[in-house]
Amino acid sequence: SWSQPLQSKSNEDQNADFQGGEKIRVLQWNALSQALGTKNDNFVKCPPEALEWKTRRFRMLEEIVLHDADVICLQEVDHFRFFLKSLAPLGYHGHFFPKPDSPCLYLPENTGPDGCAIFYKTKKFDLTKVHNRVIEVWHVESNQVVMCTTLRSRTTGQEVCVATTHLKARNGALLSTLRNEQGKDLIEFMASESRSCGPAGSLPRAVICCGDFNAEPTEPVYQTMTENDLKLQSAYATIDGNEPKYTTWKIREDGEHIQTLDYMFYSEDQLQVNGLLDFPDGEAIGQNRLPSTAFASDHFSLVVDFTMKAHPKKRF
């Protein structure tokens, strides 16, 4: 399977405020639900053996384990117990939150609803809070969810809110508007998570909000995520100011879909990007694109190395 070292950012970017701060590696991956992948998606060029659960599950695990992330954020999880049990011996604990009316439930041989999951290394972090939310659009619950974990470093005591989400899929002006409204709800939620329950006078916690946003960078939701009081920036856009050319590459009946839909947004006042995982090129991906026997999902995983600000100034 494909792997590549993390691309390091140049030392010129290193800001003294971040030297000695806690480091945190986060993996973001839409792992492709087994029920959707086999019964719904219709990846016309994907060899059926690439989607066989008996073998695919170990390739999914390999993809997750390979990068040795401190925090693992997944979407389209419909086999949470498999991941929970397999990742436990590697030092991870995790949580799962299903979509209220998951499309998986309407498919034959489903294994329950799909949803978002977060795993973290228990040696590195204590979980101080996990807060799940059904994302609202115009104050009405949608079928999309967000999971936010507040993690406290066991060495520095610093806290970070790591959240993951999977926004409404498919094209069209109405759906683009809907995703934007979901983004607004997400920002409000993250703002309150980053501020809540901290010691009196403490600064808001660092925020990492990642997921499959089902939106190209040109969609309004991207601007909603990056232009707000949380001062979020997209980690993959910090290399040259542009998002990658794709984070998913698949062939459906209507042709090839090469899209950038997955992101890792982070609060740039409190976190610095030190490195990120590159994506394979078209040749390495192969003619039949994703998923394949080399790539277990139709989405690539995003991996980012962050450093937290070393000594956040107290507000008195």
Q: Which stretches of the chain bind ligand NDP, using CB under 6 A? A: 30, 36, 40-41, 76, 99, 101, 103, 106, 143, 168-170, 212, 214, 252
Residue number of the CB atom closest to ligand NDP: 103
**Share of the chain residues as helix, strand and coil, in percent rounded to the nearest 5:** 25, 35, 40
Q: Which two tokens stand for residue 167?
A: 């926004």
Long-range pairs for 81-89: beta carbons < 8 A, 24 or more residues apart: 82/57, 83/117, 83/119, 84/119, 86/61, 87/61, 87/119
C-beta closer to ligand NDP: residue 40 or 55: 40
Q: How far is the CB of 108 from ligand NDP (least distance, A)?
A: 12
The residue among 99 and 289 lying less far from ligand NDP, judged by its C-beta, is 99
Residue 138: Cβ within 10 Å count = 9
Nearest distance from C-beta of residue 305 to ligand NDP, angstroms: 25
Q: Find the shortest distance in angstroms from Cβ 112 to ligand NDP.
A: 14
- The distance between the two most distant Cα atoms of the chain, rounded to a whole number of Å, is 61
DSSP state letters, 64-112: HHHTT-SEEEEEEES-HHHHHHHHGGGTEEEEEEE-TT-GGGGSTT--S
Comparing CB distances to ligand NDP, the nearer of 70 and 78 is: 78
Nearer to ligand NDP by Cβ, of 17 and 41: the residue is 41
Contact 174, 187 (CB under 8 A): no
In the sheet that 6-8 helps form, which strands lie side by side, from edge to edge? Answer: 6-8, 271-277, 302-308, 23-30, 71-77, 115-121, 92-98
Choice between 24 and 264, CB closer to ligand NDP: 264
Q: How far is the CB of 81 from ligand NDP (least distance, A)?
A: 20
Our CB check for ligand NDP shows the closer of 70 and 76 to be 76
Query: Shortest approach of ligand NDP to residue 115 CB, angstroms?
Result: 10
CB of 154 to ligand NDP, least distance (A): 34
Q: Do residues 190 and 228 make contact, with C-beta atoms less than 8 angstroms apart? A: no
Distance between CA 30 and CA 164 in Å, rounded? Answer: 10
Give the Cα separation of 274 and 282 in Å (integer). 26
The two structure tokens encoding residue 236 = 């993959």
Q: In this complex, which beta carbon is closest to ligand NDP, that of residue 30 or of residue 226? A: 30
Q: Which of 244, 292, 248, 284 is nearest to 76 (CA)?
A: 248
Choice between 231 and 252, CB closer to ligand NDP: 252
